[in-house]
Chain A
Amino acid sequence: MEGRQAGKESKQPSSVSVDLQGDSSLQVEISDAVSERDKVKFTVQTKSCLPHFTQLEFSVVRQHEEFIWLHDAYVENEEYAGLIIPPAPPRPDFEASREKLQKLGEGDSSITREEFAKMKQELEAEYLAIFKKTVAMHEVFLQRLAAHPTLRRDHNFFVFLEYGQDLSVRGKNRKELLGGYLRNIVKSADEALITRMSGLKEVDDFFEHERTFLLEYHTRIRDACLRADRVMYSHKCLADDYIPISAALNSLGVQEVNQLKMSFLKLAEFFERLRKLEGRVASDEDLKLSDMLRYYMRDSQAAKDLLYRRLRALADYENANKALDKARTRNREVRTAESHQQQCCQRFERLSDSAKQELMDFKSRRVISFRKNLIELAELELKHAKGGGTQDTWV
């Protein structure tokens, strides 16, 4: 598929609200996107009056791997340990859609030209929708970074936004991916260990509550997201089913010479209407519900990661305390132990403070986003149902 320009159309990522108020000193958006073979090239446009940049307005072309590089750079940066790192955008995946289009192209001789045209239209719309979504996801990622007072000042971010050349970031090879997976496993094992460590008591009720909450919330939102996906898929199946039904009813109607003709044709027309309706319901539920749930599933994971980091810091602090005690009793390297303990304490407190703020922001972000999307979902559902509910006099 060549040059699909989605960037100019739906500007606002509809599933996530990013609070860009109050700071127009750095505005980032994806103004254009082009799909080439298996790559998507995003045109990232920045408008800024910040001193770091050489120009007021500039654009670069970035690919998905470069976004991942940026995300990882943030995650690995100790300075940001106390912050929720915006979740990385998912890899653009047109596989399924492309396959379906190909299968359609190979052709099933039993379907009429009309049916073929409709199915092709459906698949193209699907492709376009996936495209738009991936653009939105990438855009939201950048916009959250740009909106965050600390994260926006990252050097890598500037490079990402401004550096005209290719960042020479290749996609992770299998070893690195595997390494990533292992690290995650180690992390969760570590977390489990830490929490069971005796003596490590959570001193702060707030964090205790947050931990319990996030654990449960993340699991449940993941479930809800998966099931919302399935509902959307079923709606799409229904919409697809209506195509041959409408066609068959039409040909039946055409053949009849009696009063039945009108009945068949009316029913065919109604199914055609239903088809469009179901298709739109499916895509709206996808955007307003599925995508939102998916985003907050990732965001809640990022929040969990933050809590883990803090917990890790707490454990380190505890360990440092113990080491200090030991050093004092042996009266060896007391000063090193002292300074280390100091460091750990400071780090822990720093993380705790920023984490608290971040988690509260997370909550308000979540509430705003859910509210917006649920309202829009209900409004759209109403609009569609009303479109299909009115029935002029037939037969």
Chain B
Amino acid sequence: MAAEREPPPLGDAKPTDFEELEDGEDLFTSTVSTLESSPSSPEPASLPAEDVSTNSNGPKPAEVVLDDDREDLFAEATEEVSLDSPEREPILSSEPSPAVTPVTPTTLIAPRIESKSMSAPVIFDRSREEIEEEANGDVFDIEIGVSDPEKVGDGMNAYMAYRVTTKTSLSMFSKSEFSVKRRFSDFLGLHSKLASKYLHVGYIVPPAPEKSIVGMTKVKVGKEDSSSTEFVEKRRAALERYLQRTVKHPTLLQDPDLRQFLESSELPRAVNTQALSGAGILRMVNKAADAVNKMTIKMNESDAWFEEKQQQFENLDQQLRKLHASVEALVCHRKELSANTAAFAKSAAMLGNSEDHTALSRALSQLAEVEEKIDQLHQEQAFADFYMFSELLSDYIRLIAAVKGVFDHRMKCWQKWEDAQITLLKKRETEAKMMVANKPDKIQQAKNEIREWEAKVQQGERDFEQISKTIRKEVGRFEKERVKDFKTVIIKYLESLVQTQQQLIKYWEAFLPEAKAIA
């Protein structure tokens, strides 16, 4: 990445140009929501080119659009990149390239343009290292907590509201500590928005916790038993982890939707997240269609790295699934052990009561107490088994599915590019035919179409390279996170297992003299 620190001379290798311009773009988008306009001419090319991943934010597709056109402009331009309005007018008027699926409406482009003349002193002045550091988590200061689940409403329309508390020293937020109330569908809505913006350009968007119709129904119906409290706790923890993962992602953190989710007191209800809604069914149909498509796309993989990584993730997925299934069995059996130990403790106590030899009676009562304490221990261990180990595994199984999805998007991107190339070829053939048939008007039309498709081919190639690059970075970040995550959890989990054994020692050591005291 060091190589990209210096702004490359314009007109050079396309990718790096592209990146630099994109970075310039990034700076602007980040200024939108947080800075007041202070008109001053933005710095020219001496601006440190920033790493795409560190400060990239906002909807990618729209950026791509603009850069694309700017690329054209700068092909003949001088070194100085003046980001003043005159040069950017043409950008405004050009329509987004059809190759990109624009998720962000053009409205977002407009405000960005307005602020183009703004300087973003906070971010501009920051050195590159600082920003990268922040993204890498050393000075990355944002803590999210999900707590206080409370039931709102009655009957089948009831829902659980969770308190989302954010503590941060990041400047992009207006306060350093704030909290809002959110319901589960809000989280799903957030994920849906992030996914639609970022997934298809190669960002690994952490998946939201799964819906559970059965679980929620029990809660709605108002069963105050342990299984519904367990369900709520499981969900709360899952939502917390989900948010924590999402904010750790430097790109996603900059997203306005995420910020709105964390900050604003009122959030428009996300209705398209219901499982049985029209949108839900559409999603299912799309997923099925995707699966079919995946099987028919045969990509010429020019980059072995991707093939390797895909295989690696496939293996990892299989093994995690296996491990997860085994751990689930463990949790179940440990809970059984706890229940059985408690039952035994009770019957030992009863036996102690019946026993008419005093010392033996006392010893049996002590045994019952020890077994009760051991039961507690088993329960705590089962808790750790589940929340530390099992949930980590299931989180990563779903994360890897997101990673696989991103690889699939790359394939689709390649397919689009391929298709564009094929169409271009056809258009050229048509042109040739028209030339031979000597139909001047048709020739002109053919020429227009050729130009159009040439642009699309270029766009397709750029998209493909962009997504490939993004994926590489994302996978690198993902792997780092994964290693960190697993290491932390494994250490904590091992500690809990060791702790359990040590507690057992204490209990039995206390019991031994009692047993010896039987006379």
Co-complex (A, B)? yes
Complex formed: what's the CA distance from A386 to B320 in Å? 31
Known: A221-B351, A367-B360, A375-B516. A381 touches B504 (CB 8 A): yes
The answer to whether A382 and B512 have CB atoms under 8 Å apart is yes
Does A370 count as interface, using CB distance less than 8 angstroms? yes
Task: With CB as the reference atom, state the residue of chain A lying closest to B503.
Answer: A385
Q: B332-347 CB contact bits vs A (8 Å, 1 = yes)? A: 0110110011011001
Q: Which residues of A contact B334 (CB under 8 A)?
A: 238
Does B348 count as interface, using CB distance less than 8 angstroms? yes
Smallest CB separation, B250 vs chain A (Å): 21
Known: A378-B512, A385-B504, A386-B505. A252 touches B319 (CB 8 A): yes
The answer to whether A264 and B490 have CB atoms under 8 Å apart is yes
Q: B151-184 CB contact bits vs A (8 Å, 1 = yes)? A: 0000000000000000000000000000000000
Known: A238-B337, A374-B367. A220 touches B351 (CB 8 A): yes
Instruction: Identify which of A213, A274, A388 contacts B354 (C-beta below 8 A).
Output: A213
Does B494 count as interface, using CB distance less than 8 angstroms? yes
Smallest CB separation, B162 vs chain A (Å): 32
Known: A245-B323, A374-B363. A381 touches B316 (CB 8 A): no
Q: Which residues of B contact A260 (CB under 8 A)?
A: 482-483, 486-487
Instruction: List A residues 117-169 near B (Cβ within 8 Å).
Output: none
The answer to whether A270 and B340 have CB atoms under 8 Å apart is no
The answer to whether A241 and B490 have CB atoms under 8 Å apart is no
Does A267 count as interface, using CB distance less than 8 angstroms? yes
Q: Which residues of A contact B232 (CB under 8 A)?
A: none
Of B320, B337, B344, B367, most buried by chain A (CB within 10 Å of CB) is B344
The answer to whether B505 and A374 have CB atoms under 8 Å apart is no
Q: Which residues of B contact A274 (CB under 8 A)?
A: 497
Complex formed: what's the CA distance from A217 to B347 in Å? 11
Instruction: Identify which of B341, B347, B360 contacts A224 (C-beta below 8 A).
Output: B347
The answer to whether A241 and B505 have CB atoms under 8 Å apart is no
Q: Which residues of A contact B425 (CB under 8 A)?
A: none
Does A102 count as interface, using CB distance less than 8 angstroms? no
Interface residue tally on A, bucketed by range: 35 or more
Instruction: Identify which of B330, B491, B512 contacts A245 (C-beta below 8 A).
Output: B330
The answer to whether B333 and A241 have CB atoms under 8 Å apart is yes
Instruction: Identify which of A231, A375, A379 contacts B337 (C-beta below 8 A).
Output: A231
The answer to whether B518 and A367 have CB atoms under 8 Å apart is yes
Instruction: Identify which of B320, B330, B515, B518 contacts A241 (C-beta below 8 A).
Output: B330
Instruction: Identify which of B351, B487, B505 contacts A395 (C-beta below 8 A).
Output: B487
The answer to whether B518 and A370 have CB atoms under 8 Å apart is yes
Smallest CB separation, B270 vs chain A (Å): 36
Does A259 count as interface, using CB distance less than 8 angstroms? yes
Does B72 count as interface, using CB distance less than 8 angstroms? no
The answer to whether B508 and A381 have CB atoms under 8 Å apart is yes
Does A77 count as interface, using CB distance less than 8 angstroms? no
Nearest 4 CB-CB pairings of A with B: A234-B337, A389-B501, A248-B323, A374-B515
List 25 A–B pairs whose Cβ atoms lie within 8 Å, in order of A's numbering: A209-B356, A221-B354, A224-B351, A227-B344, A230-B343, A231-B337, A231-B340, A234-B337, A244-B322, A245-B323, A248-B323, A259-B487, A260-B487, A267-B490, A267-B494, A270-B497, A367-B360, A367-B518, A370-B360, A371-B516, A382-B505, A385-B501, A385-B508, A389-B502, A394-B494
Given A217-B355, A251-B319, A370-B363, 9 additional A-B pairs, CB 8 A: A230-B340, A231-B337, A367-B360, A374-B518, A378-B508, A378-B512, A386-B505, A389-B498, A389-B501
Residues of B within 8 A of A (CB): 315-316, 319-320, 322-323, 326-327, 329-330, 333-334, 336-337, 340-341, 343-344, 347-348, 350-351, 353-357, 359-360, 363-364, 367, 479, 482-483, 486-487, 490-491, 493-494, 497-498, 501-502, 504-505, 508-509, 511-512, 515-516, 518
Residues of A within 8 A of B (CB): 209, 213, 216-217, 220-221, 223-224, 227-228, 230-231, 233-235, 237-238, 241-242, 244-245, 248-249, 251-252, 255, 258-260, 263-264, 266-267, 270, 274, 363, 366-367, 370-371, 374-375, 377-379, 381-382, 385-386, 388-389, 391, 394-395
